[in-house]
């Protein structure tokens, strides 16, 4: 699975070099490419945004710069996702569906958003990670990358995927977990679990 992230803040994605996702990258199981949208500005001051037509607060990312960045990474089998509070809420079912794709292009907005015309032209799906507004699409992109990567073969054990919450049709909830010591601050591990340490 390849993720291409279009963003003004590629350094934020260094977080994904740690832990399980970092190891999956090292092992070549997933690839995460970040593209700095600013690199595609033709303006001498590397400007990427402008004031909105019709007025209002804040700045809007310009369509041509975003389009050029997209052109630099698109492939024939890529699916383009725009992270926004207006999108369809990400669910575990959606995560599993996306994990079957070969190439996801994640478009991260900043400021007030992105010119609607380039969104209409390149975006296949608009996704939200929940009903709240963030300063940019970077954190939602990372949430999507993390959740989708768990379904890629070799990233985590098969058992972890099968045992987890939401993964089966009954939406079985995860139960509380315990490890050693057997007693902590006077609280004991439930008796029923003590004979079943694997
Ligand atoms: C996604 C993006 C929340 C979510 C986001 C979410 C900034 C999109 C700007 C960025 C637009 C304002 N906030 N809930 N913010 O998944 O470019 O909407």
CA of residue 89 to ligand 1 center, whole Å:
12
* E strands in the chain: 2-7, 31-36, 49-50, 60-61, 78-89, 103-107, 125-128, 183-184, 187-188
Residue nearest to atom 9 of ligand 1 (CA): 113
CA distances from residue 5 to 79, 94, 145, 187 in whole angstroms, order as listed: 12, 19, 10, 46
Render pLDDT for 36-89 as a digit per residue (tens, 0 to 9): 999 999 999 999 999 999 999 999 999 999 999 999 999 999 999 999 999 999
Render pLDDT for 108-118 as a digit per residue (tens, 0 to 9): 999 899 999 99
> Is pLDDT of 170 > 50?
no
**Residue 142's pLDDT band (cuts 50, 70, 90):** very high
R_g (Cα) of the chain, nearest Å:
21
What is the mean pLDDT of the segment spanning 20-30? 98
Q: What is the pLDDT of residue 166?
A: 57
Q: Tell me the C-alpha distance between 56 and 137, whole Å.
A: 21
Pocket test for ligand 1, best of 6, 62, 109, 132 (most atoms within 8 A of CB): 109
What is the mean pLDDT of the segment spanning 165-190? 81
Backbone angles phi, psi at 105, to 5 degrees: -105, 120
Q: Tell me the C-alpha distance between 8 and 138, whole Å.
A: 9
Average predicted confidence (pLDDT) for the chain: 94
Pocket test for ligand 1, best of 49, 110, 136 (most atoms within 8 A of CB): 136
DSSP 73-113: H--TTEEEEEEEEEEEEP-HHHHHHHTT-SEEEEE--BTT-
CATH of region 2-159: 3.40.1280.10
Domain boundaries, the chain: 2-159
| Residue 177: strand, helix, or coil | coil
Q: Tell me the C-alpha distance between 148 and 90, whole Å.
A: 11
Model-level pTM? 0.94
């Amino acid at each position: 699975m390849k993720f291409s992230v279009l963003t003004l803040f590629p350094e934020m994605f260094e977080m994904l070099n740690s832990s399980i996702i970092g190891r999956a990258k090292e092992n070549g199981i997933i690839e995460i490419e970040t593209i700095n949208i600013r690199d595609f500005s033709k303006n001498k001051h590397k400007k990427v945004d402008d004031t909105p037509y019709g007025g209002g607060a804040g700045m809007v990312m310009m369509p041509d710069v975003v389009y050029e960045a997209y052109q630099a990474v698109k492939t024939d089998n890529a699916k383009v996702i725009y992270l926004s509070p207006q999108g369809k809420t990400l669910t575990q079912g959606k995560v599993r569906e996306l994990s079957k794709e070969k190439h996801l292009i994640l478009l991260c907005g900043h400021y007030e958003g992105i010119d609607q015309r380039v969104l209409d032209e390149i975006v296949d799906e608009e996704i939200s990670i929940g009903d709240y507004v963030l300063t940019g699409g970077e954190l939602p992109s990372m949430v999507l990358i993390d959740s989708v990567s768990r379904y890629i073969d070799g990233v985590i054990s098969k058992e972890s995927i099968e045992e987890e919450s939401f993964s089966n049709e009954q939406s079985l909830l995860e139960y509380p977990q315990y490890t050693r010591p057997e007693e902590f601050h006077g609280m004991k591990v439930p008796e029923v679990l003590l004979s079943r340490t694997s």
